[in-house]
Structure 1
Amino acid sequence: MDFLTHWTVFQSPSMVWVTLLAVGLVGLSKGGLGGAFALMGVPLMSLVMPPVLAAAVLLPVLLMMDAASLWIWRHWRDGEVLRVMLPAAMVGIAAGWAAAAVTSDAAVRLIVGIVALGFAARALLGRFIGTAPRYVPAMGWLWGTIAGFTSFVAHAGGPLFQIQVLPKRLDPKLYTGTSVLFFAVVNLVKVVPYAALGLFERDVLVSALILLPLAFISVRAGAAVIKRMKPEVFYPFTYSMVVVVGVKLVWDGVSALF
């Protein structure tokens, strides 16, 4: 442990093991296997280290996961979705940066969680009453902007992307590749303001470097599962993950506010 305690943020074996579990779960999500896993990263690590430190360690790892995911899914993307949602997300990130000082992370998580649960409920009821959510390309400007904003201020952009894109019923591989590219660009743009906060210190970067092998392995594992998943399994699974994410965000928001 001498090397770890001197060169990294890990000061005990429990910090190492909990961080490895968190990175593994986030990597599965980055590979395409359920957005709910991505939300577990910082909360899990926060059990053994301050939340701000957990986010700082995870950010460089997320960028490397994005790079691995981009390579794996490089042949799969929906240009129509990206042409609308990526520019909109840049607007949302800029708004989030400008409003960061007066925006409540907890309130944003609560609102996004409620919206996600409402979307999932409508999708479920729509199967019985014939009013399931429809894909409307122009709505990508709205949901893309909100996804960029909530991703910046609360790392909670996933449900908004899903609300826009899931009704299009893309092939699972095409959906995953589009999602991967969208959030890779969003995370890369977020690096500039995060770096300005002084998060990338030596021990943080060394810690992230040690975690990279597990990050790549877990991303590939998640991608391998998705590539073998049929649409009739993928979409019920993904909508279930929207519900899990929504419940988690509502719980986080209510716990922090009350």
Structure 2
Amino acid sequence: MPELSLVAWGLLAIGAVIIGVSKTALPGASILSIALLATVLPARTSTAAMLLLLIVGDVFALIAYRRHAHWPTLVRLAPAVVAGLLAGFAFLALGNDTVVRRGIAVILLAMIALTLWRRRHPVSENTVRTGWLTAAGYGSLGGFTTMVANAGGPVMSMYFLATRAPIKVFLGTAAWFFAIVNLMKVPFLAGIGLFTPSVLIMDAVLAPGVVIGALIGLAVASRINQQLFDRIVIVLTVVGSLYLLI
């Protein structure tokens, strides 16, 4: 078992629960989990540990929305996403924990800025097109950010919003996208030795938290004050990201 303090385990448990909630009720909330795990664990270890927890959450997202995916959108994204994944893998393989830690912080802050910008400038049919060039830009950036920090959610949400899909199609497409991409990332991270016995044991302990979070998300999805929760997530993530930069 990894030697961590009770406070550290508590933060990891909170991160696991948030991952579950983000998969079934609050897309984007997992960005807070990224900051929590990267604060408690070495940067590269946190990326590997969170990936396995995200895959647990993906199961619940697929159960809920698996029949609503728009597969032409996923096919259009595939080449660019693969290129982004390879670039992110090179960054992880060549960078040490300090470089990756700060890289995660920069990515998180950039994702927060992107999220805030998106809210001030809602996507419309006239401002964003979803052709191959746009797919290449969003797909490559999404692939890179998800490989390095599991933080591709805000980028891909912008693209999926631009498709003007109904809400269930949006959620179904996103569910399949992240389920497939997260599974693709496993052999890459395993190849550079990030799935150590300690990581596997830790994730086995934390996995029930993801399940609990997913069930909570399904139960309270329609009752949460989205605006207040989003503000809390943004503030805490900015604080955590600044801490990672120190």
Higher relative contact order (CA 8 A, sep 6+): 2
Structure 1: stretches of 5+ with no match in the other structure: 1-7
Distance in 2 of aligned mates of 1:146 and 1:47: 23
Question: 1:194-233 to 2 correspondence within 5 Å?
Answer: 194-226=189-221
In structure 2, the partner of 1:94 is 86
Give the TM-score normalised by structure 1. Answer: 0.74
Cα 1:244–1:85 shift into 2, 3 Å = farther
After superposition, what is the alpha-carbon deviation per residue over 1:29-56, rounded to whole angstroms, capped at 9, x for unaligned? 0224231x20122422455544444444
Instruction: Name the residue aligned to 1:5.
Output: none
Structure 2 SS opposite 1:199: coil
1:24 maps to 17
Residue 39 in 1 paired to residue 31 in 2?
yes
CA distance 1:177–1:221, change in 2 (3 Å):
farther
2:172 aligned to which of 177, 182, 187:
177
Q: Which amino acid aligns with 1:30?
A: K
Q: Which moved further from structure 2: 72-81 or 178-187? A: 72-81
Separation of aligned partners in 1, 2:10 and 2:43? 16
The answer for the alignment partner of 2:130 in structure 1 is 136
User: 1:75 aligns to what SS in structure 2?
Assistant: helix
Q: Which runs of 5+ in 2 are unaligned?
A: none
Give, in angstroms, the shift of residue 252 of structure 1.
6.1
Deviations 1:128-175 (A, max 9, x none): xxx864452432222111100121123321111112111333332221
* Equivalent residues in 2 for 1:99-118, closer than 5 Å: 99-100=91-92, 101=94, 105=103, 106-118=105-117
Q: Contact (CA 8 Å) 2:85, 2:143: kept in 1 or not? A: yes
Aligned partner letter, 2:68? W
TM-score normalized by structure 2?
A: 0.77
1:159-200 Cα distance to aligned partner (Å, 9 max, x none): 111121113333322211211111111111111221123222
What residue identity is the alignment partner of 1:78?
H
Q: Percent identity?
A: 27
CA RMSD of aligned residues (A): 3.5
The equivalent residue for 1:3 is none
